[in-house]
């Protein structure tokens, strides 16, 4: 009897101290300090690939250092830096089987300023037939890192020009992809293209907390620290602070790092990431995803816009792509019953699951979801200069952060493993 009493007493004490420690570490005051710094005018709206974002990169790095995180394997700092190219069209011309092509029927994807190729250049050849999904097909080849000449059926004449938009997603192509409108498959061809290339660099900020027994299994906590920078003034305000989008998510990432470091019992390796280039087409997460084996990533908690109340009120959030894995259900199970609700995404027609950095990892099979409270249909300051700290509810945001951390405990400890995401290949 005595033994039983002391065991249950011990359990009570353990639960109490656990609850106390999260409340001590994840405080509204600390949440406010980080949030306010990231969203201050000094950070100049944190536009990716501009000098304006550097101060926030330094701030996040300094927080990671203070917490005691380690750089990612192979890096000497928390910055994971990469180069992107911004091509500007100059000219394109050529022939396919002797038929002359003008610049309206040629699009070139390359990091080179000038390109001259013909049938002897060793290019792989392929065609895209009428009725295909042109954008999806070309995107697939852009990821292959090979030199390819794609001839596209002339039924695509009207939409062909839209392919140029895909250049935005090219952070640094390794292969050259040439796309030409042509009724015939090429036997002989000659293509010449010139463009102006601007090179820009950006950095994800990555901090690691190695796992105790399951070091090779990763759990990612992420958000994006870039926003829109300085833009069209609204009244006298031209700095787009992005307090909710996504300084709030980064605040959550830093708080989670702080909490798990203090706890010091994560069996799996935790990777805390502040992505850059989210607003320019998920560029930072694309680079990040190439630097680690997605099969080793057990779960990804991507956090976006948690500073305002959700459509259901306080103490609730939604998980995008809720049914694509059981991550949401696991999170719900881990929070104290009745204290917080993780709902399914109510804005499915907006395809939010595919619009944030989680999508990059989800396409590789990772149970990667975005957790948000943003009322996407009516949020008044979304992508506006008015997205300022004063519009956020720090107490509720603290509650949301604590719920995400608590919801993740079983996964962090290695006891729970969410199901993989299986997306249709596209
Ligand atoms: Zn965002």
Q: Do 159 and 298 belong together in one domain?
A: no
Q: Where are the alpha helices (DSSP H) in 264-357?
A: 283-289, 327-334
Q: Do 131 and 242 belong together in one domain?
A: no
Give the number of other Cβ atoms within 10 Å of residue 8's Cβ.
Answer: 10
230 lies in some domain: yes
As a whole number, mean pLDDT of residues 254-277 equals: 97
Domain boundary among 169, 198, 227: 198
Using the predicted structure, report yes or no on whether residue 291 has a pLDDT greater than 60.
yes
20 lies in some domain: no
- Ion ligand 1 residues within 5 Å by Cβ: 245-246, 304
Q: Do 177 and 264 belong together in one domain?
A: no
Range(s) of the domain holding residue 114: 85-198
Q: 317-350 burial by CB neighbour count: b if 16+ within 10 A, else e?
A: bbbbbbebbbbbebbbebbeeeebebbebbbeee
Interval between CA 375 and ligand 1 midpoint (Å): 13
What local confidence, expressed as pLDDT, does residue 28 receive? Answer: 97
Q: How confident is the model at residue 166 (pLDDT cuts 50, 70, 90)?
A: confident
pLDDT in tens, 210-222: 999 999 999 999 9
Interval between CA 188 and ligand 1 midpoint (Å): 47
The total number of structural domains that make up the chain: 2
Using the predicted structure, report yes or no on whether residue 421 has a pLDDT greater than 60.
yes
The DSSP H or E segment spanning 191 is strand 189-209
Contacts of 264 (CB under 8 A, 6+ apart): none
Task: Count Cα atoms within 13 angstroms, Cβ side, for 235.
Answer: 5
219 lies in some domain: yes
Q: Do 379 and 266 belong together in one domain?
A: yes
Percent of the chain whose predicted confidence (pLDDT) is above 70: 94
Q: Do 49 and 115 belong together in one domain?
A: no
> How many residues in the chain?
426
Q: How confident is the model at residue 281 (pLDDT cuts 50, 70, 90)?
A: confident
Please, which contacts does 53-59 make with residues 24 or more away whose CB atoms are closer than 8 Å? 53/202, 53/225, 53/226, 53/229, 53/276, 56/225, 57/203, 57/205, 57/225, 57/274, 57/276
pTM, entire model:
0.86
What local confidence, expressed as pLDDT, does residue 423 receive? Answer: 83
Interval between CA 305 and ligand 1 midpoint (Å): 7
Q: Do 243 and 390 belong together in one domain?
A: yes
Q: Do 314 and 180 belong together in one domain?
A: no
What local confidence, expressed as pLDDT, does residue 280 receive? Answer: 84
pLDDT in tens, 38-75: 999 999 999 999 999 999 999 999 999 999 999 999 99
Looking up residue 319, the CATH number of its domain turns out to be 3.40.630.10
76 lies in some domain: no
Q: Do 259 and 283 belong together in one domain?
A: yes
Interval between CA 400 and ligand 1 midpoint (Å): 17
Q: Do 365 and 338 belong together in one domain?
A: yes
203 lies in some domain: no
pLDDT in tens, 130-158: 999 999 999 889 888 899 999 999 999 99
What local confidence, expressed as pLDDT, does residue 44 receive? Answer: 97
């Amino acid at each position: 009897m005595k033994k039983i009493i002391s065991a249950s007493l011990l359990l009570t004490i353990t639960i109490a101290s656990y609850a106390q420690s999260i409340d001590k570490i994840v405080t509204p005051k600390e949440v406010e300090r980080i949030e306010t710094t990231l969203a201050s005018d000094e950070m100049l709206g944190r536009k990716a690939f501009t000098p304006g974002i550097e101060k926030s990169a330094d701030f996040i790095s300094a927080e990671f250092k203070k917490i005691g995180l380690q750089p990612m394997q192979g890096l000497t700092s928390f910055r994971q830096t990469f180069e992107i190219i911004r091509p500007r069209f100059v000219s394109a011309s050529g022939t396919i089987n002797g038929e002359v092509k003008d610049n309206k029927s040629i699009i070139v994807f390359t990091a080179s300023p000038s390109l001259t190729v013909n049938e002897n250049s060793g290019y792989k050849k392929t065609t895209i037939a009428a009725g295909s999904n042109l954008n999806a097909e070309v995107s697939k080849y852009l990821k292959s890192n090979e030199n390819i000449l794609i001839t596209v059926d002339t039924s695509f004449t009207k939409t062909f020009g839209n392919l140029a938009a895909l250049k935005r997603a090219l952070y640094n192509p390794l292969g050259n992809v040439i796309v030409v409108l042509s009724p015939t498959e090429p036997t002989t061809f000659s293509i010449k293209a010139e463009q102006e290339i601007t090179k820009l660099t950006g950095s994800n900020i990555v901090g690691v907390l190695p796992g105790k027994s399951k070091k090779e299994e990763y759990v990612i906590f992420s958000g994006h620290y870039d926003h829109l920078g300085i833009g069209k003034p609204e009244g006298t305000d031209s700095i787009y602070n992005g307090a909710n989008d996504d300084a709030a998510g980064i605040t959550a990432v830093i708080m989670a790092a702080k909490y798990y470091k203090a706890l010091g019992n994560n069996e799996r390796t935790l990777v805390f990431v502040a992505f850059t280039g989210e607003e320019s087409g998920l560029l930072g997460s694309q680079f990040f995803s190439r630097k680690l084996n997605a099969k080793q990533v057990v779960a990804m908690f991507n956090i976006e816009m948690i500073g305002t109340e959700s459509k259901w009120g306080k103490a609730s959030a939604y998980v995008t792509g809720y049914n694509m894995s059981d991550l949401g259900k696991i999170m719900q199970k881990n929070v104290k019953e009745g204290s917080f609700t993780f709902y399914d995404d109510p804005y499915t027609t907006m395809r939010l699951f595919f619009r944030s950095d989680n999508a990059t990892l989800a396409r590789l099979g990772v149970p990667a979801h975005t957790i948000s409270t943003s009322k996407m249909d009516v949020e008044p300051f979304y992508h506006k200069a008015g997205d300022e700290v004063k519009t956020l509810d720090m107490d509720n945001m603290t509650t949301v952060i604590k719920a995400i951390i608590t919801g993740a405990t079983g996964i962090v400890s290695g006891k729970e493993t969410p199901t993989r995401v299986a997306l249709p290949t596209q």
